[in-house]
Structure 1
Amino acid sequence: MIKKRIIIGISGATGIQYGIKALELLRELDVETHVIISKAAELVRSYETQYKHDTIVSLADKAYALADVGAAISSGSFKTMGMLIAPCSVKTMSEIATGVTSSLMSRAADVTLKERRKLVLLFRETPLHAGHIKTMLQITEMGGIVMPPVPAFYMQPQSIDEMVKHTVARALDLFGFDIEIPRWER
Protein backbone atom coordinates (compact mmCIF):
# COMPACT_ATOMS: atom_id res chain seq x y z
CA MET A 1 0.00 0.00 0.00
CA ILE A 2 1.27 3.46 -0.89
CA LYS A 3 1.74 5.75 2.07
CA LYS A 4 -0.59 8.73 1.86
CA ARG A 5 1.91 11.13 0.35
CA ILE A 6 1.19 13.94 -2.10
CA ILE A 7 3.17 16.63 -3.89
CA ILE A 8 1.83 20.18 -3.85
CA GLY A 9 3.18 22.55 -6.47
CA ILE A 10 2.53 26.25 -6.11
CA SER A 11 3.29 28.10 -9.35
CA GLY A 12 3.17 31.77 -10.23
CA ALA A 13 -0.45 32.33 -11.15
CA THR A 14 -2.79 34.40 -9.05
CA GLY A 15 -4.47 32.34 -6.36
CA ILE A 16 -1.60 31.20 -4.13
CA GLN A 17 -4.33 30.77 -1.49
CA TYR A 18 -5.32 27.51 -3.22
CA GLY A 19 -1.93 25.93 -2.61
CA ILE A 20 -1.78 27.21 0.95
CA LYS A 21 -5.29 25.88 1.66
CA ALA A 22 -4.33 22.47 0.22
CA LEU A 23 -1.39 22.29 2.63
CA GLU A 24 -3.60 23.35 5.55
CA LEU A 25 -6.31 20.79 4.77
CA LEU A 26 -3.87 17.94 4.21
CA ARG A 27 -2.07 18.77 7.45
CA GLU A 28 -5.32 17.95 9.29
CA LEU A 29 -5.31 14.49 7.68
CA ASP A 30 -2.67 11.79 7.98
CA VAL A 31 -1.02 12.83 4.71
CA GLU A 32 2.65 13.52 4.09
CA THR A 33 3.04 16.64 1.94
CA HIS A 34 5.94 17.66 -0.27
CA VAL A 35 5.87 21.23 -1.58
CA ILE A 36 7.59 23.12 -4.39
CA ILE A 37 7.08 26.86 -4.69
CA SER A 38 8.13 28.62 -7.89
CA LYS A 39 9.96 31.96 -7.95
CA ALA A 40 6.93 33.60 -9.55
CA ALA A 41 4.74 32.16 -6.78
CA GLU A 42 6.96 33.92 -4.25
CA LEU A 43 6.25 37.20 -6.02
CA VAL A 44 2.50 36.48 -6.08
CA ARG A 45 2.66 35.57 -2.37
CA SER A 46 3.97 39.03 -1.55
CA TYR A 47 1.15 40.68 -3.55
CA GLU A 48 -1.78 38.51 -2.47
CA THR A 49 -1.18 37.45 1.13
CA GLN A 50 0.40 38.35 4.43
CA TYR A 51 2.01 34.88 4.57
CA LYS A 52 5.77 34.63 4.82
CA HIS A 53 7.64 31.98 2.82
CA ASP A 54 8.67 30.13 6.00
CA THR A 55 5.06 29.95 7.18
CA ILE A 56 3.95 28.26 3.96
CA VAL A 57 6.91 25.88 3.97
CA SER A 58 6.18 24.94 7.60
CA LEU A 59 2.78 23.60 6.52
CA ALA A 60 4.50 20.85 4.50
CA ASP A 61 6.43 17.84 5.71
CA LYS A 62 9.16 18.53 3.16
CA ALA A 63 9.95 21.51 0.95
CA TYR A 64 12.18 21.55 -2.11
CA ALA A 65 14.02 24.22 -4.01
CA LEU A 66 12.73 24.74 -7.54
CA ALA A 67 16.18 24.02 -8.98
CA ASP A 68 16.62 20.74 -7.06
CA VAL A 69 15.89 18.45 -10.02
CA GLY A 70 17.60 15.56 -8.21
CA ALA A 71 15.15 15.64 -5.28
CA ALA A 72 13.32 12.48 -4.22
CA ILE A 73 10.10 13.64 -5.89
CA SER A 74 11.87 13.75 -9.26
CA SER A 75 12.03 9.94 -9.30
CA GLY A 76 9.28 7.48 -10.09
CA SER A 77 10.61 5.19 -7.38
CA PHE A 78 9.48 7.76 -4.79
CA LYS A 79 5.86 6.66 -4.37
CA THR A 80 3.16 9.29 -4.07
CA MET A 81 -0.58 9.47 -4.64
CA GLY A 82 0.16 12.14 -7.20
CA MET A 83 0.55 15.88 -7.51
CA LEU A 84 -1.69 18.91 -7.21
CA ILE A 85 -0.47 22.17 -8.71
CA ALA A 86 -2.50 24.96 -7.16
CA PRO A 87 -2.50 27.44 -8.72
CA CYS A 88 -1.10 26.34 -12.06
CA SER A 89 0.29 29.00 -14.38
CA VAL A 90 0.27 28.90 -18.18
CA LYS A 91 4.05 28.47 -18.14
CA THR A 92 3.92 25.48 -15.81
CA MET A 93 1.06 23.83 -17.69
CA SER A 94 2.87 24.36 -21.01
CA GLU A 95 6.13 22.86 -19.71
CA ILE A 96 4.27 19.79 -18.49
CA ALA A 97 2.33 19.38 -21.74
CA THR A 98 5.49 19.52 -23.84
CA GLY A 99 7.65 17.38 -21.56
CA VAL A 100 10.02 20.27 -20.84
CA THR A 101 11.36 19.61 -17.37
CA SER A 102 13.35 22.76 -16.67
CA SER A 103 12.52 22.81 -12.96
CA LEU A 104 11.59 20.43 -10.18
CA MET A 105 7.95 21.52 -10.57
CA SER A 106 7.67 20.35 -14.19
CA ARG A 107 9.93 17.34 -13.55
CA ALA A 108 7.78 16.12 -10.64
CA ALA A 109 4.64 16.58 -12.76
CA ASP A 110 6.26 14.69 -15.65
CA VAL A 111 7.17 11.82 -13.31
CA THR A 112 3.64 11.82 -11.92
CA LEU A 113 2.24 11.37 -15.43
CA LYS A 114 4.76 8.72 -16.52
CA GLU A 115 4.02 6.70 -13.38
CA ARG A 116 0.26 6.98 -14.14
CA ARG A 117 -0.43 8.81 -10.91
CA LYS A 118 -2.97 11.61 -10.48
CA LEU A 119 -1.92 15.03 -11.71
CA VAL A 120 -4.43 17.81 -11.04
CA LEU A 121 -3.80 21.33 -12.29
CA LEU A 122 -5.83 24.23 -10.88
CA PHE A 123 -5.21 26.25 -14.02
CA ARG A 124 -5.56 29.97 -13.38
CA GLU A 125 -5.98 31.92 -16.58
CA THR A 126 -8.81 33.65 -18.39
CA PRO A 127 -9.81 34.36 -21.07
CA LEU A 128 -8.31 31.51 -23.05
CA HIS A 129 -6.85 31.45 -26.53
CA ALA A 130 -6.60 28.37 -28.75
CA GLY A 131 -3.07 27.59 -27.51
CA HIS A 132 -4.28 27.35 -23.91
CA ILE A 133 -7.13 25.07 -24.91
CA LYS A 134 -4.83 22.84 -26.98
CA THR A 135 -2.40 22.64 -24.06
CA MET A 136 -5.21 21.64 -21.71
CA LEU A 137 -6.21 18.96 -24.20
CA GLN A 138 -2.61 17.67 -24.30
CA ILE A 139 -2.52 17.43 -20.50
CA THR A 140 -5.86 15.61 -20.49
CA GLU A 141 -4.74 13.18 -23.21
CA MET A 142 -1.61 12.47 -21.14
CA GLY A 143 -3.78 11.51 -18.16
CA GLY A 144 -3.73 14.77 -16.23
CA ILE A 145 -6.78 16.61 -14.97
CA VAL A 146 -7.21 20.31 -15.68
CA MET A 147 -9.48 21.84 -13.07
CA PRO A 148 -9.98 25.58 -13.29
CA PRO A 149 -10.83 26.86 -9.81
CA VAL A 150 -14.42 27.87 -10.47
CA PRO A 151 -16.33 28.75 -7.30
CA ALA A 152 -19.56 26.95 -6.47
CA PHE A 153 -22.23 29.40 -5.39
CA TYR A 154 -24.88 26.80 -4.49
CA MET A 155 -23.19 26.59 -1.09
CA GLN A 156 -23.83 30.33 -0.56
CA PRO A 157 -20.28 31.14 0.54
CA GLN A 158 -19.87 33.84 3.15
CA SER A 159 -16.16 34.44 2.56
CA ILE A 160 -13.38 34.04 0.05
CA ASP A 161 -11.85 31.43 2.36
CA GLU A 162 -15.03 29.32 2.09
CA MET A 163 -14.83 29.48 -1.72
CA VAL A 164 -11.13 28.59 -1.71
CA LYS A 165 -11.68 25.69 0.72
CA HIS A 166 -14.56 24.32 -1.35
CA THR A 167 -12.50 24.39 -4.56
CA VAL A 168 -9.46 22.79 -2.93
CA ALA A 169 -11.59 20.12 -1.25
CA ARG A 170 -13.10 19.29 -4.65
CA ALA A 171 -9.59 19.00 -6.10
CA LEU A 172 -8.56 16.73 -3.22
CA ASP A 173 -11.69 14.61 -3.89
CA LEU A 174 -9.88 13.52 -7.05
CA PHE A 175 -7.19 11.90 -4.88
CA GLY A 176 -9.76 10.14 -2.70
CA PHE A 177 -9.65 12.54 0.26
CA ASP A 178 -12.97 13.35 1.89
CA ILE A 179 -12.95 16.81 3.35
CA GLU A 180 -16.14 18.04 4.92
CA ILE A 181 -17.63 20.78 2.77
CA PRO A 182 -21.14 21.68 1.64
CA ARG A 183 -22.06 19.32 -1.19
CA TRP A 184 -24.79 19.53 -3.77
CA GLU A 185 -27.90 17.89 -2.41
CA ARG A 186 -31.34 18.19 -3.86
Structure 2
Amino acid sequence: MRIVVGITGASGSIYGYSLVRALRELGVDTYVVATKMGGQVMQYECGVKVEDLKKYATLLDNQNLFASIASGSFLTDGMVVAPCSMNTLGGIANGIGDTLLSRTASVVLKEQRKLILMTRETPLHLIHLENMTQLARAGAVIMPAAPGFYHRPTEIWELINFMVARILDAFGIDHGLLTRWGEKEGVQ
Protein backbone atom coordinates (compact mmCIF):
# COMPACT_ATOMS: atom_id res chain seq x y z
CA MET A 1 0.00 0.00 0.00
CA ARG A 2 1.18 3.54 -0.82
CA ILE A 3 -0.40 6.70 0.63
CA VAL A 4 0.41 10.39 0.27
CA VAL A 5 -0.03 12.64 3.31
CA GLY A 6 -0.38 16.38 2.87
CA ILE A 7 0.08 18.72 5.82
CA THR A 8 -1.18 22.30 5.55
CA GLY A 9 -1.11 25.37 7.79
CA ALA A 10 -4.38 24.73 9.61
CA SER A 11 -4.16 24.08 13.32
CA GLY A 12 -4.07 20.36 14.08
CA SER A 13 -0.77 19.29 12.53
CA ILE A 14 -0.62 16.63 15.24
CA TYR A 15 -3.12 14.69 13.13
CA GLY A 16 -0.80 14.60 10.13
CA TYR A 17 2.24 13.85 12.25
CA SER A 18 0.49 11.03 14.12
CA LEU A 19 -0.89 9.59 10.88
CA VAL A 20 2.57 9.49 9.28
CA ARG A 21 3.98 7.70 12.33
CA ALA A 22 1.09 5.20 12.40
CA LEU A 23 1.48 4.45 8.69
CA ARG A 24 5.19 3.75 9.24
CA GLU A 25 4.41 1.39 12.13
CA LEU A 26 1.89 -0.42 9.92
CA GLY A 27 4.38 -0.81 7.07
CA VAL A 28 2.64 1.53 4.62
CA ASP A 29 4.83 3.23 2.00
CA THR A 30 4.19 6.90 2.77
CA TYR A 31 5.00 10.13 0.93
CA VAL A 32 4.67 13.47 2.72
CA VAL A 33 4.32 16.94 1.28
CA ALA A 34 3.79 19.98 3.51
CA THR A 35 3.03 23.59 2.77
CA LYS A 36 5.35 26.23 4.20
CA MET A 37 2.72 27.17 6.80
CA GLY A 38 2.12 23.48 7.49
CA GLY A 39 5.75 23.16 8.53
CA GLN A 40 5.58 26.30 10.66
CA VAL A 41 2.40 25.19 12.42
CA MET A 42 3.83 21.72 13.05
CA GLN A 43 6.92 23.19 14.65
CA TYR A 44 4.83 25.57 16.76
CA GLU A 45 2.17 23.08 17.86
CA CYS A 46 4.20 19.87 18.09
CA GLY A 47 7.82 20.98 18.41
CA VAL A 48 8.54 18.87 15.32
CA LYS A 49 10.21 20.04 12.12
CA VAL A 50 8.86 18.74 8.83
CA GLU A 51 12.36 17.42 8.08
CA ASP A 52 11.98 15.12 11.10
CA LEU A 53 9.31 13.21 9.15
CA LYS A 54 12.08 11.72 6.97
CA LYS A 55 12.40 9.07 9.70
CA TYR A 56 8.92 7.85 8.85
CA ALA A 57 8.26 8.66 5.19
CA THR A 58 9.59 10.01 1.92
CA LEU A 59 9.48 13.79 2.26
CA LEU A 60 8.89 15.82 -0.90
CA ASP A 61 9.26 19.57 -1.59
CA ASN A 62 5.91 21.29 -2.13
CA GLN A 63 7.39 23.33 -4.99
CA ASN A 64 8.66 20.27 -6.89
CA LEU A 65 6.00 19.60 -9.51
CA PHE A 66 8.35 17.02 -11.07
CA ALA A 67 7.97 14.73 -8.05
CA SER A 68 6.61 11.24 -8.65
CA ILE A 69 3.32 11.86 -6.83
CA ALA A 70 2.42 14.66 -9.30
CA SER A 71 1.73 12.07 -11.99
CA GLY A 72 -1.24 9.76 -12.34
CA SER A 73 1.09 7.04 -13.62
CA PHE A 74 2.69 6.88 -10.16
CA LEU A 75 0.38 4.43 -8.41
CA THR A 76 -0.90 5.29 -4.97
CA ASP A 77 -3.87 4.12 -2.95
CA GLY A 78 -4.79 7.72 -2.29
CA MET A 79 -4.04 10.82 -0.31
CA VAL A 80 -4.93 12.36 3.03
CA VAL A 81 -4.58 16.06 3.75
CA ALA A 82 -4.39 16.35 7.54
CA PRO A 83 -4.99 19.01 8.55
CA CYS A 84 -6.57 20.63 5.50
CA SER A 85 -6.77 24.42 5.62
CA MET A 86 -9.67 26.18 3.95
CA ASN A 87 -7.13 27.83 1.62
CA THR A 88 -5.91 24.43 0.40
CA LEU A 89 -9.46 23.09 0.26
CA GLY A 90 -10.50 26.03 -1.93
CA GLY A 91 -7.55 25.53 -4.26
CA ILE A 92 -8.25 21.82 -4.68
CA ALA A 93 -11.99 22.44 -5.15
CA ASN A 94 -11.23 24.88 -7.96
CA GLY A 95 -8.63 22.74 -9.73
CA ILE A 96 -5.63 24.91 -8.86
CA GLY A 97 -2.55 22.69 -9.04
CA ASP A 98 0.22 25.23 -8.53
CA THR A 99 1.94 23.31 -5.71
CA LEU A 100 2.84 19.65 -5.32
CA LEU A 101 0.20 19.21 -2.63
CA SER A 102 -2.67 20.66 -4.65
CA ARG A 103 -1.46 19.02 -7.89
CA THR A 104 -1.30 15.62 -6.20
CA ALA A 105 -4.80 16.03 -4.75
CA SER A 106 -6.04 16.85 -8.25
CA VAL A 107 -4.29 13.77 -9.66
CA VAL A 108 -5.83 11.57 -6.96
CA LEU A 109 -9.29 12.87 -7.87
CA LYS A 110 -8.83 12.46 -11.63
CA GLU A 111 -7.53 8.91 -11.16
CA GLN A 112 -10.55 8.17 -8.92
CA ARG A 113 -8.40 7.24 -5.95
CA LYS A 114 -9.33 7.97 -2.35
CA LEU A 115 -8.83 11.61 -1.27
CA ILE A 116 -9.50 12.38 2.39
CA LEU A 117 -9.54 16.01 3.48
CA MET A 118 -9.38 16.43 7.26
CA THR A 119 -10.76 19.93 7.52
CA ARG A 120 -9.85 21.94 10.57
CA GLU A 121 -11.82 25.17 10.77
CA THR A 122 -14.81 26.44 12.66
CA PRO A 123 -17.21 28.02 12.17
CA LEU A 124 -17.66 27.48 8.45
CA HIS A 125 -19.10 30.02 6.04
CA LEU A 126 -21.00 29.30 2.84
CA ILE A 127 -17.92 29.30 0.57
CA HIS A 128 -16.22 26.68 2.79
CA LEU A 129 -19.36 24.53 2.65
CA GLU A 130 -19.74 24.92 -1.11
CA ASN A 131 -16.08 23.97 -1.66
CA MET A 132 -16.59 20.88 0.50
CA THR A 133 -19.75 19.98 -1.40
CA GLN A 134 -17.98 20.41 -4.74
CA LEU A 135 -15.15 18.13 -3.59
CA ALA A 136 -17.56 15.54 -2.18
CA ARG A 137 -19.33 15.46 -5.55
CA ALA A 138 -15.94 14.93 -7.22
CA GLY A 139 -15.30 11.90 -4.98
CA ALA A 140 -13.36 13.32 -2.04
CA VAL A 141 -14.12 12.30 1.53
CA ILE A 142 -14.58 15.29 3.82
CA MET A 143 -13.52 14.19 7.30
CA PRO A 144 -13.56 17.05 9.79
CA ALA A 145 -11.23 16.70 12.76
CA ALA A 146 -14.12 15.84 15.06
CA PRO A 147 -13.21 12.98 17.40
CA GLY A 148 -15.86 11.00 19.21
CA PHE A 149 -16.05 10.72 22.97
CA TYR A 150 -17.86 7.41 23.48
CA HIS A 151 -14.54 5.72 24.21
CA ARG A 152 -14.20 8.07 27.21
CA PRO A 153 -10.82 9.62 26.39
CA THR A 154 -8.75 10.98 29.26
CA GLU A 155 -5.71 12.14 27.28
CA ILE A 156 -5.19 14.15 24.10
CA TRP A 157 -3.46 11.27 22.28
CA GLU A 158 -6.68 9.24 22.58
CA LEU A 159 -8.57 11.95 20.67
CA ILE A 160 -5.84 12.09 18.04
CA ASN A 161 -5.78 8.30 17.66
CA PHE A 162 -9.55 8.28 17.22
CA MET A 163 -9.24 10.40 14.07
CA VAL A 164 -6.11 8.61 12.80
CA ALA A 165 -8.02 5.34 13.22
CA ARG A 166 -10.92 6.70 11.13
CA ILE A 167 -8.49 7.56 8.33
CA LEU A 168 -6.90 4.09 8.50
CA ASP A 169 -10.39 2.55 8.44
CA ALA A 170 -11.23 4.51 5.28
CA PHE A 171 -8.24 2.89 3.56
CA GLY A 172 -9.04 -0.56 4.94
CA ILE A 173 -5.83 -0.67 7.00
CA ASP A 174 -6.05 -2.93 10.04
CA HIS A 175 -4.94 -1.31 13.30
CA GLY A 176 -5.53 -1.36 17.04
CA LEU A 177 -5.77 2.36 17.76
CA LEU A 178 -9.21 2.42 19.35
CA THR A 179 -11.96 0.46 21.00
CA ARG A 180 -14.86 0.30 18.57
CA TRP A 181 -18.43 1.06 19.49
CA GLY A 182 -20.09 -2.12 20.69
CA GLU A 183 -16.85 -3.84 21.69
CA LYS A 184 -16.22 -4.69 25.30
CA GLU A 185 -14.63 -1.85 27.21
CA GLY A 186 -10.84 -2.15 27.16
CA VAL A 187 -10.76 -4.58 24.22
CA GLN A 188 -8.56 -3.37 21.38
Report TM bin, short chain. Answer: over 0.9
Structure 1 match to 2:40: 43
CA distance in 2, matches of 1:103, 1:58: 23
Give 3-state SS (helix, strand or coil) of 1:27's partner. Answer: helix
2:18 counterpart of 1:21: yes
Q: Deviations over 1:88-133 (max 9, x none)?
A: 0001111110000010000000000000000000000100100000
Q: Deviations over 1:50-103 (max 9, x none)?
A: 21332223221x111010011100000000000000000001111110000010
The answer to whether the 8 A contact 2:34-2:50 is kept is no
Q: Within 5 A, what are the aligned runs for 1:108-127?
A: 108-127=104-123
Q: Which amino acid aligns with 1:53?
A: V
Deviates more, 1:104-113 or 1:168-177: 168-177
Structure 2 match to 1:129: 125
CA distance in 1, matches of 2:50, 2:72: 28
Q: Percent identity?
A: 43
Structure 2 match to 1:168: 164
Structure 2 match to 1:57: 54
Structure 1 spans left out of the alignment, 5+ residues: none
Give 3-state SS (helix, strand or coil) of 1:121's partner. Answer: strand
CA distance in 1, matches of 2:14, 2:54: 13
TM-score, normalising length from structure 1? 0.95
CA distance in 1, matches of 2:50, 2:4: 17
Q: Which amino acid aligns with 2:63?
A: A
Q: Which amino acid aligns with 1:184?
A: W
2:141 counterpart (140, 145, 169): 145
How far apart are 1:30 and its partner, in Å?
A: 2.1
Structure 2 match to 1:158: 154
Structure 2 spans left out of the alignment, 5+ residues: 184-188
Q: Which amino acid aligns with 2:11?
A: T
Deviates more, 1:98-107 or 1:168-177: 168-177
Give 3-state SS (helix, strand or coil) of 1:36's partner. Answer: strand
Q: Deviations over 1:8-52 (max 9, x none)?
A: 000110000000111111111121000001101112122211213
CA distance in 2, matches of 1:113, 1:154: 33
How many residues are treated as equivalent by the alignment? 182
